């Protein structure tokens, strides 16, 4: 399904200027030691003017629905918004110079986790829906974070960190890598059923279904190949109790962004069909599968997939509808 909304937004544009006064600079060096680093003086960027606009369309928007089915969250141009599922006005949950994306509701519907570069590099953050409480979950400015999702008990957050799946306390702190690196290969070694350790290069888009024991995700193994007809990504399932990884889908055109219904009956995922990205739906009870819709938002298989291979999707709590966005 598609969505449309009218949302005023203020974008702050930063301009920076460095003015060197030779006499003053000489005096400072004589009295204050080494001169300060110019780059440190310029950061963080400060807004100097504003730009207001109204839009009815958006691109590469991740969507999520609250557990009570009343609210949906989405990202647009680097900010997080919420909007009633019944329709209406979109409300900005985050604003500012930072780029915020990929919102996901907590199981109790009180907080949203998202990725943001507001500190200079991507990290995981959570925010309360009243905007009064924002918590930084991870630290550092050199590691890529993508596609956070809450564990069903709300105690932890799982995300792709440096292209590997990691688990973090929902209150912040050090995390642990779920699928450990292979000491011999120097890459993630997953005990894949039916074979040896997998030569893994990316793990993307973690998702839970009805059973909290299993984490679904998209995995790329071996070298990346431009537009390979055999597909770069497979759907995998990680068993949190045994640590085993099982292949659930390997197809032409890849399989990515697994999205499961709350009742455990449906699986929706993205794939490439010739030159179009499309969505497929599988009945997990009968194993029957068919095309759901397409073409949709172009996937990011040929690039770095810095915001996953495909934007986030979500089922409604009654498992009757899939909420996603494409074509604006």
**HEC string for 48-115:** EEEEEEEECCCCCCCEEECCCCCEEEEEECCEEEEEECCCCCCEECCCCCCCEEEEEECCCCCEEEEE
Tens of pLDDT along 14-57?
333 333 333 334 444 445 566 766 656 666 677 788 878 788 88
- Grouping H, G, I as helix, E, B as strand and the rest as coil, residue 272 is strand
For residue 105, what are the CA distances in angstroms to 40, 114, 129? 35, 9, 10
Q: What is the mean pLDDT of residues 298-327?
A: 93
Pairing label, strands 322-323, 314-315: antiparallel
Is residue 126 a part of any domain in this protein? yes
- For residue 98, is it within any domain? yes
pLDDT band of residue 224 (cuts 50, 70, 90) is low
pTM of the model: 0.81
Considering the domain boundaries, does residue 53 fall inside one? no
Give the CATH number of the domain where residue 249 resides.
2.120.10.30
The rounded distance, in Å, linking the Cα atoms of 75 and 19 is 37
Q: Determine, yes or no, domain membership for 49.
A: no
Residue 192 located in a structural domain: yes
Q: What distance in Å separates the CA atoms of residue 204 and residue 123, rounded to the nearest whole number?
A: 16
Number of domains in the chain: 1
Q: Output the pLDDT for position 142.
A: 85
Q: Which residue, chain included where needed, has tokens 């962004």?
A: 257
Within-domain flag for 252: yes
> Residues near 19 by Cβ (< 8 Å), separated by ≥ 6?
none
Distance CA 62, CA 310 (A): 9
| 176, pLDDT greater than 50 | yes
Q: Domain range for residue 234?
A: 58-323
What was the pLDDT predicted at 229? Answer: 58
48, part of any domain: no
Which tens digits make up the pLDDT trace of 81-107?
Answer: 999 999 999 999 999 889 999 999 999
How would residue 191 be classed by pLDDT, with cut points 50, 70 and 90? very low
Query: Above 90 in pLDDT, residue 3?
Result: no
Q: In residues, how long is the chain?
A: 328
**What pLDDT does residue 180 have?**
76
Give the lowest-confidence range in 93-102, 179-188, 203-212, 278-287: 179-188
Contacts of 131 (CB under 8 A, 6+ apart): 93
> Residues of 43-52 as b/e, b for ≥16 C-beta within 10 angstroms?
eeeeeeeeee
Higher model confidence: residue 270 or residue 230?
A: 270
d(CA 138, CA 123): 6
Q: What are phi and psi of 134, to 5 degrees?
A: -120, 130
Query: Is 28 inside any structural domain?
Result: no
């Amino acid at each position: 399904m598609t969505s449309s909304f009218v949302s005023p937004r203020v974008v702050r544009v930063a301009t920076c200027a460095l003015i060197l006064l030779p006499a003053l600079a000489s005096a400072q060096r004589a009295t204050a030691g080494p001169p300060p680093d110019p780059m440190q003086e310029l950061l963080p960027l400060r807004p100097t003017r504003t730009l207001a606009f109204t839009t009815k369309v958006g691109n590469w928007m991740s969507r999520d629905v609250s557990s009570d089915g009343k609210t949906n969250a989405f990202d647009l141009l680097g900010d997080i918004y919420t909007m009633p599922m019944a329709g209406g006005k979109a409300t900005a949950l985050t604003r500012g110079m930072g780029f915020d994306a990929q919102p996901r509701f907590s199981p109790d519907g009180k907080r949203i986790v998202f990725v943001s570069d507001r500190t200079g590099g991507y990290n995981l953050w959570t925010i309360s829906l009243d905007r009064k409480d924002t918590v930084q979950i991870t630290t550092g400015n050199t590691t890529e974070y993508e596609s956070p999702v809450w564990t069903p008990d709300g105690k932890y957050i799982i995300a792709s960190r440096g292209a590997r799946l990691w688990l973090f306390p929902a209150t912040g702190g050090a995390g642990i890598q779920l699928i450990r690196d292979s000491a011999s290969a120097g890459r993630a070694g997953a005990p894949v059923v039916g074979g040896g350790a997998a030569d893994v290069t990316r793990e993307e888009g973690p998702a839970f279904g009805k059973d909290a024991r299993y984490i679904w995700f998209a995995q790329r193994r071996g070298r990346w190949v431009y537009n390979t007809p055999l597909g770069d990504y497979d759907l995998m399932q990680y068993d949190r109790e045994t640590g085993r990884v099982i292949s659930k889908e390997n197809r032409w055109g890849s399989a990515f962004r697994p999205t499961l219904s709350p009742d455990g009956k449906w699986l929706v995922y993205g794939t490439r069909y010739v030159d179009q990205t499309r969505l497929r739906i599988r009945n997990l009870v009968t194993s029957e599968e068919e095309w759901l819709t397409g073409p949709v938002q172009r996937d990011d298989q040929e690039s770095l997939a810095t915001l996953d291979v495909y934007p986030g999707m979500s089922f409604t709590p009654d498992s009757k509808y899939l909420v996603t966005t494409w074509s604006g």
